[in-house]
Homo-oligomer: A and B are copies of this chain.
Amino acid sequence: MGTVAIGAPVNLRSDNVAGIAPEILAAIEAANAGSAPSYGADPITARLQDTFSELFETRCFVQPVATGTATNALALALIAPPYGAVYCSDVGHVHDSECGAGEFYTGGAKIVPLPAAHGRLHPETLRAALRKAGIGHTGRVQPAALNLTQATERGTVYQLDELDALVEVAREYGLRVHLDGARFANAIAALGRAPADLTWRRGVDVLSFGATKNGAMGAEAVVVFGEELAEPLRFRARRAGQVFSKMRFISAQLEAYVKDGLWLRLAANANAMAGRLAAGLRELPGIHLSHPVEINEIFATMPQRVIDGLLAAGFGLYDRGGGEVRLVTAFNNTQEQIDAFVAAARRLASVI
């Protein structure tokens, strides 16, 4: 699959180093026929509302936007007032990887990171924070929203009962819930559950629906479950410069992405490649996986000479410092690529 030359060392630095899946590129090309109304008034965008409502088994509203950062920031702005607090894990993308987009879009809400193991926030950690939050005390920002990432930034997933427990705490304190689904497809593929089961049936109010990391060119969507959030979303998105004039080309990507289960096949491949990679690395001397490998991300510690050797050999990886790397497999990685990576790591790790 894809256009990667045989033999070229695979780039596992991130899944967003991969290109566009053929089906999605074809959809862009097909959407180029004729003229179409702009700013989302085109037929493809209109169809997308129905497609997603069917996919999620409930009426929902979909706003296609440019980037994952935009989806998250828009989502938070819908559910947290400027004087609100947004709780997330201490590795939450909204906290430390988006240059303060959440603060910008919300008008200055406070994003509160909480300690999390393997990227997963624990309900009691959330409850403890909320107990000390000073609810009603005007000196304190007021708890407004819970941000969860599914799959997490550490390559793990929340099980359904874990989500239930978190949302129960959130509801107890009146928080609304945002799910950052930058790798939502990988989570779905890993858990084998319907999108609805991981979102509104669990109490999620708004979803960042990612597609770019899993084969789109540049297409993400904010999905809101609940009519009253749709209008603010439309205006906030426009005001943020996130409404494409030629929206059809973004919507076409999203349409192709979910059509006939493409998104899940792509995610399943990425997940399987990570599993294969993890199995290979796990056996190597001096290499230890930092977290359970549940989707397409691997964090591993290894001797620096192995890291340097892999980079020197042309493999792509994210050197996090301190002997830890992140490896992310993509929709179009192949077994051959993964096996070549493991083989190279084995050679480097075996040298004494």
A interface list, Cβ under 8 A from B:
3-5, 8, 10-11, 13-14, 16-20, 25, 28-29, 31-39, 65-74, 81-83, 96-101, 103-111, 138-142, 212-213, 217-218, 232, 234-246, 249-250, 316, 330
B246–A217 contact, CB under 8 A?
yes
Once A16-B246, A25-B29, A99-B139 are accepted as A-B contacts, the answer to whether A238 and B69 lie under 8 Å apart by CB is: yes
A238–B139 contact, CB under 8 A?
yes
> Closest residue of chain B to A333, judged by CB?
B35
Once A238-B99, A241-B69 are accepted as A-B contacts, the answer to whether A232 and B34 lie under 8 Å apart by CB is: no
State which of B20, B97, B218 has its C-beta within 8 Å of the C-beta of A139. B97
> Closest residue of chain B to A210, judged by CB?
B245
Tell me whether chain A's interface is mostly helix, strand or loop, or mixed: loop
B83–A99 contact, CB under 8 A?
yes
**Shortest beta-carbon distance, A336 to chain B, in Å?**
15
Query: Chain B residues near A101 (CB, 8 Å)?
Result: 238-241
- State A140–B100 Cα separation when bound (angstroms): 7
A5–B19 contact, CB under 8 A?
no
B17–A141 contact, CB under 8 A?
no
Once A99-B141, A241-B67, A246-B218 are accepted as A-B contacts, the answer to whether A16 and B32 lie under 8 Å apart by CB is: no
